[in-house]
């Protein structure tokens, strides 16, 4: 099977400079909203690049969106590295963050550093992300930062440990739960994280917490008071079945378009409407005659 090279090149010219950690800090200071999306392959990376987003996350959500796992827990480091390498080849300006998969950083500081190093050295990520802000996660974040690798934290709904949180549901809806999220966010900030994701927490809680967070906060289902927003690529473009979480705004319905396109192709093949003469290649009649003689 072959495909003609894409008309979009990874070396596409742009006037934008690469997004850096100082630039993200400056955006927070100025109140400029930070735009972040997930990406899992070269085409999605090129779409993010063309759209001019600020940050791209190779999320472990790729376990479900592109690898077909029922949750994020099953995905292996090597699998995410393949996705991250493809995304890196498609990006020039956005700041690239790689998700550390479940089981790749929890055991020890050494394990966390080794995994983070692979995302930076093998895949070219600018930073890594880990979930949770409890004592163990904060310690791992501190160790990775100490090794010279920027770390993004993640509090609220943390999909890798969703079972322990009671499933995929909003977090921080009681005073006690809100206090836990606040403590975790502060712990990650103190550990040296350059940014934190707030996922699926009440908007009012996020607004109150912003007073105490000096690093950029990226929200996903956390309301408008945070410094930026992120959505999963397949959610925002409708490359999935079902509506998704409450916080998802769908900007296209590509799953339906893809199914319709493939269905039309199948119909054309079965009714012999494809291929037509214009879809084929010609051979000089004299060369064809010579070939006939060769066959005989």
Question: CA 37, CA 229: separation in Å to the nearest integer?
Answer: 8
- Strand 195-199 to strand 217-220: parallel, antiparallel, or no bridges (unpaired)? parallel
Q: How many helices (H) and strands (E) in the chain? A: 11, 8
Structure tokens given for 88: 């890196």
CA–CA distances in Å: residue 72 to residues 28, 116, 167, 248:
30, 18, 13, 18
Mark whether 79 is an active-site residue.
no
Given 76, 184, 199, 264, the catalytic residue:
199
> Cβ-count burial of 74 within 10 angstroms (0-12 exposed, 13-18 middle, 19+ buried)?
middle
Radius of gyration of the chain (CA): 23
40 closest CA partner among 15, 72, 2? 72
Active site residues: 199
């Amino acid at each position: 099977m072959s495909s003609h090279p894409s008309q979009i090149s990874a070396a596409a010219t742009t006037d934008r400079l690469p997004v850096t950690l100082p630039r993200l800090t400056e955006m927070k200071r100025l109140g400029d909203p930070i735009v972040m999306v997930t990406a899992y392959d070269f085409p999605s990376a090129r779409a993010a690049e063309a759209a001019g987003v600020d940050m791209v996350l190779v999320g472990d959500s790729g376990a479900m969106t592109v690898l077909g796992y029922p949750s994020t827990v099953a995905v292996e480091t090597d699998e995410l590295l393949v996705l991250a390498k493809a995304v890196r080849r498609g990006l020039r300006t956005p700041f690239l963050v790689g998700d550390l998969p479940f089981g790749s950083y929890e055991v020890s500081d050494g394990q966390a550093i080794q995994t983070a190093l692979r995302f930076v050295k093998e895949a070219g990520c600018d930073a890594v992300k880990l979930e949770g802000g409890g004592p163990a996660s904060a310690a791992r974040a501190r160790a990775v930062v100490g090794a010279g690798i920027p770390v993004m934290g993640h509090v609220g709904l943390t999909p890798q440990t969703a079972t322990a949180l009671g499933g995929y549901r909003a977090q921080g809806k009681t005073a006690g739960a809100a206090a836990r999220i606040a403590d975790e966010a502060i712990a990650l900030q103190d550990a040296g994280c350059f940014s934190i994701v707030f996922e699926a927490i009440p908007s009012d809680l996020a607004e109150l917490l912003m007073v105490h967070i000096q690093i950029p906060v990226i929200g996903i289902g956390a309301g408008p008071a945070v410094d930026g927003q992120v959505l999963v690529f397949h959610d925002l473009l409708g490359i999935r079945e079902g509506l998704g979480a409450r916080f998802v705004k769908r900007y296209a319905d590509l799953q339906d378009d893809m199914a319709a396109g493939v269905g039309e192709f199948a119909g054309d093949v079965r009714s012999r409407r494809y291929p037509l003469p214009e879809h084929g290649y010609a051979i000089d009649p004299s060369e064809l005659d010579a070939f006939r003689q060769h066959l005989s």
